[in-house]
Structures are given as C-alpha cells and as structure tokens.
Amino acid sequence: MSSVDKQLEQLQAEIENELPSDITVSDVKYEGPELVVYTRHPKEFAQNGDLIRKLASKLRKRITVRPDPDVLSDPHKAEERIMDVIPEEAGVTDLDFHADTGEVVIEAAKPGMVIGRHGSTLREITKEVGWTPEVVRTPPIESSTVSNVRNFLKQEREERRDILERVGRQIHREEMSKDEWVRITTLGCCREVGRASFVLSTPETRILIDCGDKPGAEDEVPYLHVPEALGAGANTIDAVVLTHAHLDHSALIPLLFKYGYDGPIYCTEPTRDLMGLLTLDYLDVAAKEGRTPPYESEMVREAIKHCIPLEYGDVTDIAPDVKLTFHNAGHILGSAVSHFHIGDGLYNVAFSGDIHYKDTRLFNGAVNDFPRVETLVLESTYGGRNDYQTDQEDSEQSLVDIINETHEKGGKVVIPAFAVGRSQEIMLVLEEAMRSGKIPSMPVHLDGMIWEATAIHTTYPEYLRDDLRDRIFHEDENPFLAEEFNHIDGGEDERQQVTDDGPAIILSTSGMVTGGPIMSWLRHLGSDPESTLVFVGYQAQGTLGRRIQTGWDEIPVSDPNDPGRSSTLALKMDVETVDGFSGHADRSGLMNFVKTMNPRPEKVLCVHGDERSVQDLSSSLYHDFNMRTFAPKNLETFRFK
C-alpha cells in the first residue's frame, strides 16, 4: 500500500471517529488540493452545518462531501424540490445533474441567493435532495468563451476527475528529502518587459510561475530549455502557477503540454477563461500574419482541462511542502499576487505578478498584507525615477479634452487598448463622461476581443471593485450595457462604414500595435489629420506602438489580402499619450506597496521592467528601506536558506 493510500485510510478513520453514529463514510479520495468524502448520508451531513467546518479545521484540509451515487434521488424530482428551495428572484437558468459525483450544477443570475447566508440555502438543498450543489453565475452579457469553457469541462468531467485524483496524490505524497533550501531561477522578464517566467524550487518540488511571450519579439521566449525548467523533462515540474492572463505571462502555457507537461495549472477562474480567449486569439493572429503558431489549439484545451481555480484568500496545498494563497493584484480581472508558504514555516516568497496599488474604476488596489514574506519578486514596469503617472482624475480629463477637440474637428478617436483591463477601464470612463455630458454622446466601437472580454468581466463581478459589482448586479445600471457601445464583428466592410460615418470613438486591440484589428484602423484613418490616435497603456520597446509614440510618422502596414506584402503609410493623424490608465503601479505605487508591507520582506528581486527601471527601483528600495535588493538578469538563480 502506498503512503498516500495509508494516509487516506487514516483520514477516513479519523473522520469516522468524529462523526455521529448515524453518518457513515464509504470512501475518501484526494481530488487536487481537496479531500473528497463520499457518504450514504449526505442529508444528515447537511443538517449539521458545522460538521464539515470542524472536520476541515481538525484535519487542516479543504473538504468536499459528496453522496454515494446509489443514494441519489431522481433528478426530475430533485429539480422540483431544488426550485422550491431557491428564491425565485435568484434567476436560475439551468440545472445540470452529474450522477457520477452526486453534484448538481446550478446556474443562476444571482448565485448569492442560491448560496444563502453562510451557505444555508446550499445545505437546505442537500438536506432536501441529497445532491451536492455547485453554483455558477449566468453571464449578464452572453459570453461564448465562458459557455465554451463550461461545456468543455462538462464533457471532460471524467478525465478531469482522473487528473485531479492524480494531482491530489502528488500533492499529498510523502516528503523524501530532509534538506531545507529554496531557489528562484529567472527564465524571463528580467531587465525587460515580457516573457515572464520563473521556477521556484525546493528539494521536494519545482513550480513554474508564468510562461509568457515578449510583445513585438516572437522569437524571444522564456529559457525553458535549461535544466531548472523543462530541460530535465516537463514531467519534473510539479505545478504551474499563472498570475494573470495577459499574453506576456500566459501565451506559452499551452506549449508546456506540447512538451509533455501533464500537471496542474493554478489560477483564478477568470484567469482560466481569459487565458483560453487570449491564447486562441494569439494562435489566430500568428496564422493571419503568416507565422507558424508555436502550438495547436488542442494544447489550449489541455491547459484549460488542467486548471485548478482558486479564490482570493484560500490557503491551498499544491505540493507536500508548499502552500499557495492568491490575493487581488488590482491589475486585470482575476490577477493575483501569489504567496508561497514553503515547508513548516521555513520560508515565504511572494510573486507580485503585475500590480496596481491604488483603486481604479475597475478594481480594488493590490493586497500586500501577508503574515510573512522573506522574499518579494516585484514587477518594475514603471520603477524608473521619473515614472510617475498622472493622477487618475487628471488623466480622465485629458482624455475627455482630446475627444472633445477631435469631435469638434469632425475626426475620430482611435484608442489601441488591451482587450482585458484597459478597455473596460476606458469604457467606464466614456460611459460616465457621456452620461454626465462631459463629452457628446457618440458611437463607441469595440473591435477585436474587447466585447467578449467585457462579457467575461460581467460574469465574475466578485473580482471587480465593490461599487461596480453592485451596479452590474442591477441590469438597468450595468455600465457595460450602455447604448453607445457597439461590438464590431471584425469585418472590413463594417470598419469602412465606421470610417465613412460621423464622429466616433474606436477601441481596438492590439494595445501595443503589434498586429490585430488596430492595423486595419491605421490603414483606414492613419492618413486623416482630423483624427487622433491615443495611447493609454504601456508601449514596450520594440513594438510599433512605442515607435509611433516616439515620433515615427511613416509606418509599415500589410495588405489585408496578402499578409506577406506590406507598404508604407504616412501617419497624419494626431498622436497623443494619456498616462494614468495603465494597469501597472507607477513609481510611487511600487514604493508604497513595499513601504506598507508589515513586516517588510528581507529581500526584493526587481523584475519585469527595462534595465533603467529595475535598477532605479532596486537602488531606491535598498536606500529607503535598508533591505537587500537585486535587479537580476535572465538565467540567474537565487538560493535562500
């Protein structure tokens, strides 16, 4: 018998010892980080609301209770009784019964009403029918991504359970090494922006954090071939942690499965969905531009199948010697500061991912409250001495002024923006400005994936700023449903129609002008001196966006009918940059993020910034807070303990 089987046997005995005599346990399994308890008495479990909580506390495990399949009530009868229990105003749109696990997935417009206070309605459902309820939100705006992901995971439930059981046994395997050390190896995004990737190693475990591309440089990928990463074989990586879905962090996650990785990806639920959206688009753009995609779409599905979603604040075992906790990073939907607790109090490392420290219209500011952090790996995109962003109110006023000036000239405003994060932020600014009369009401055309990304935002309002979440809960107040917003389906005829029509605002991907529909808008409007191109996000070195921003007035554009052919376009439209809309903390935000940590970390690795930015930030943190700081290069390894 393996050590894990012995462990499960002991756990079952402990659980049975704690239970009343009228409740039996028929099986105990690990599924990912959770301990799943199967019982012939699910109703009795539900009647004692504190029972699961007490067991979880005593065993220090996340516990899910499921009914034995042979004690389940008939789904048709169960559906009637479930609908009697759930308040009508919850807006239930679907019930999906899964007899193999005894779960019923309830999709509702207002999941909170299905859950009830402290889970009271969920327990009532189990008491009535025996099935274990799982609740998901009905998207207020229809999202093909959310629908496709949910349907795919439904089809793959059986294989996914096998994956989770295998992962669970890996997590809870017996520790073999008595050594105590922690290493971080940098595989990308050091003294550069893009291709974020790190390996966190212990004698027992190796964890890959992020695996992205480099904007504007398709051939520069993380150093995955080295022994610390996949050079020793993809199966030597125990887990992948994805901080957020932007492509400079997520684009090459599916590539891991091409190399033979078969383990878990830990991320938040919206990060999982957005990763699917963005990586599939990444493949599509590569094909349209005549480049060979690095992996097939099947690998994206493999990545989604292996995702284990975690919520902010949940402490989760991901290896025998590592616990992971996600915290809001304030950057984009579902972005997470990733805190690793290693060993039994041995060491703590936090990876910031990308952060925004102050509240924005979309998100609450990044969390930096941790029990302990010895080493912080900190993004430094705007870490340079003079990288202070304009105040948000001033930034919004600047954008309003540019729109009004362009409108008066009869031109159009074109805003290249990331589909995820900046676009929704700008949409909120435009909706409020039109509603309050600061700018005239006019069409706001959303091109690329922006509308789909917005639909995903409304599916997960619990990840948004408190007051925005409340507005989305009330359909008539949902700002993303304002009548000015128009989704463009990507056709050239529609773009030509917008070009021929009157004043308008166009929000289009890609945010750094590295391809995608923004290239079409430059072809249509680039030579119009009455129109304005407005940059509202970071433009990385080497991208066409950065070149235009720094004065290029002749740009290469490809023929839409022949991507291999390009010509030169004289750029006559005005070019403006409005700071303050970035999803990244500026210099003061980064300094304050560290300053207000209590206790402060002993060491800080400044990454994800150009050479000047990381060195400036590293130097300032050292001088101001008397801590050891580093501005590492790629392929450096830091050993702690």
Residue 349, both tokens: 């490392």
Tell me 227's DSSP state. I
Residue 596, both tokens: 């207000």
Cβ atoms within 10 A of the Cβ of 601, count?
A: 24
Q: Is the link from the previous residue into 441 a cis peptide, with omega within 30 of 0?
A: no
**H-run or E-run covering 93:** strand 92-98
Residue 367, both tokens: 């969390």
Is 172 annotated as ligand-binding? no
Cβ atoms within 10 A of the Cβ of 355, count?
A: 28
190-206 in b/e burial notation, b at 16+ Cβ within 10 A?
bbbbbbbbbbbbbebbb
**H-run or E-run covering 523:** helix 517-525
The pair phi, psi for residue 413, each rounded to 5°, is -105, 125
- Single out the residue of 127, 116, 114, 117 nearest to residue 65, CA to CA: 127
Cβ atoms within 10 A of the Cβ of 162, count?
A: 12
CA distances 415 to 65, 419, 503, 504, Å, are 50, 11, 14, 11
Is 354 annotated as ligand-binding? yes
Is 327 annotated as ligand-binding? no
Q: Who's near 267: CB < 8 A, 6+ residues apart?
A: 241, 242, 243, 245, 275, 307, 309, 310, 334, 336
d(CA 103, CA 125): 11
Is 608 annotated as ligand-binding? yes
d(CA 552, CA 571): 8
Residue 64, both tokens: 């899910």
Alpha helices (H) in 370-516, listed in sequence order: 392-409, 422-435, 450-459, 466-473, 492-500
d(CA 14, CA 98): 28
Tell me 475's DSSP state. G
d(CA 218, CA 225): 17
Residue 480, both tokens: 């993303």
d(CA 272, CA 548): 33
- Single out the residue of 414, 447, 446, 412 nearest to residue 427, CA to CA: 446
DSSP-derived 3-state class of residue 183: strand
Q: Please, what is the angle between helix 144-155 and helix 269-288, to 10°?
A: 110
Residues of the binding site: 244, 246, 248-249, 331, 354, 608
Residues of the binding site for Zn(2+): 244, 246, 248-249, 331, 354, 608
